[in-house]
Amino acid sequence: MADIKLKRKPFNGYYRSAKSSEDGELTHTGPSTPAGEYFRRFWQPVAMVEQVGELPLALEILGEELVLFRDLSGQLGLLHKHCSHRRASLEYGIISENGIRCCYHGWLFDVDGTILEVPGEPENSPIPKKLCHGAYPVKEFKGLVFAWMGPPDEMAEFPAFDTLHQSDNELVPYSIDYPCNWLQVAENPMDPFHSVFLHTRVTRAHFNPAWGAMPVVEWHSMDDNVGIFLTNTRRWKEFLWVRTAEIFLPAIAQPPDIYQNAETEKFFPRVGITKWTVPVNDTHCRIIAWRHFNETLDLDGRGDRSKVGLGRVDFVGQTGTERTYEEGQRMPGDYEAQISQGKITVHADEMLGRTDVGVMGYRKLLRNAVRDTANGKMPAAPRLNADGVVPTLAGDVIVQVAEVEDDIALQKEAGKIVGEIVKDTLLFSWEARPVEIEKRVKEWVATKQA
């Protein structure tokens, strides 16, 4: 191994060319891997409902080859792809009144894996009693299909986030494939500094110029370590913009309004996206998500429902199909930054700094959770609020506060105060919470203007 001092010299490519080991404890999610076992203790979205048509849908999730279908009675099934008889793929199966029939020898499998028929075998064949085909429970929810791929007797409650149950809110599903490991996509929301550079200063303003203001950021673990959230405070003209964003473990992120206008006061309009980063295998992942549309978001009308769906979403730089390679080079987005790290990024070759505190915290939280699962500990469930759903922390608070001599200190104070208020009101009902947040924030602003 080359002396570490040689790696610090100019033209040191030769000394830095040796490959380091990847972080398999976090990046590998196949069956029986530590992170794979952890992921299997959560409901995972596997497809959009619109993808489930008249024919079976072959897919891969967590390194497992599967087939998703809806039988003629309307039941959804998610089965292991290869027939338990002679391994023919059920993507060529014939959908039946109950379950799916293998094309090769006609064995019929119900949506729970029960073998209903074994044509060609003796009438009293013991095979149906001796064997059950691999299958997973599924749920259809607001245009997405979710699966439980963990032990059946450890099935967790289906995630009921408050943002998914708000009234007068349209949830538009979408799904985007990434040819890289899940973690380098999932950790992106805990790095708000990339918005300053990737989305604004380095290329041009993907969203609006306010994103280019350098923020004051603090990261915090959620209660019971079920996730991590940040406060991200910017000065923009006469306004302070405090943005809270969050990740629930293992990889559920909620960024606030992506088209937020930072030049009008707002008191906690909620999220623009709810997304899962789902490992397909170790070198591919998929974002399966909803875009939110309601009257409190995107007040300038820049979002476009018609551009949200399978392989597409209505903001630039998120897919490998919307633009040419040259366009991606000229104005790279999240997609280019994330997949260009390699199939599986190598953490040992990174040089992390102050802007990476959130990424480091997220990885640490994940690693502890993965190891807890390996030691037989079940992941903690988030607490419920007064409405009986999981309260979340993501949203925007924008207030008009005059700039002061030590404005960085003011931004830090604003972020601290808003973060505390958002967390203190976590268990309030949906209707009461923004009212209380507005009241408390205005009280703090009044002390700054006295």
For the chain, list the domains and their CATH numbers.
Answer: 43-154 (2.102.10.10), 162-449 (3.90.380.10)
The whole-number pLDDT of residue 331 equals 87
Structure tokens at 311: 């392989």
Structure tokens at 63: 């390194």
The whole-number pLDDT of residue 11 equals 81
Pick left, alpha or beta for residue 178 (phi over 0 → left; psi -120 to 50 → alpha; otherwise beta).
beta
- Give yes or no for a contact between 366 and 249, defined as CB atoms under 8 angstroms apart: yes
* Entry field: residues in the chain: 450
Structure tokens at 168: 């007068």
Residue 450's identity, in one-letter code, is A
Q: From CA 343, how far away is CA 134, in angstroms rounded?
A: 29
Q: From CA 65, how far away is CA 79, in angstroms rounded?
A: 9
Q: From CA 32, how far away is CA 25, in angstroms rounded?
A: 12
Q: Which residues contact 301 (CB under 8 A, 6 or more apart)?
A: none
User: Distance from CA of residue 241 to its chain's centroid?
Assistant: 24
Q: Omega before 250 cis (within 30°)?
A: yes
Can you list the residues of the chain whose pLDDT is less than 50? 1
Let me know if 246 is exposed, middle or buried by CB neighbors in 10 A (0-12, 13-18, 19+). Answer: buried
Q: Which residues contact 61 (CB under 8 A, 6 or more apart)?
A: 44, 46, 147, 149, 278, 279, 280
- Give yes or no for a contact between 257 and 298, defined as CB atoms under 8 angstroms apart: yes
Pick left, alpha or beta for residue 215 (phi over 0 → left; psi -120 to 50 → alpha; otherwise beta).
beta
- Give yes or no for a contact between 278 and 285, defined as CB atoms under 8 angstroms apart: yes
Give the up-direction half-sphere exposure of residue 314: CA atoms within 13 A in the CB hemisphere. Answer: 21
Say how many C-beta atoms besides its own lie within 10 A of residue 137's C-beta: 17
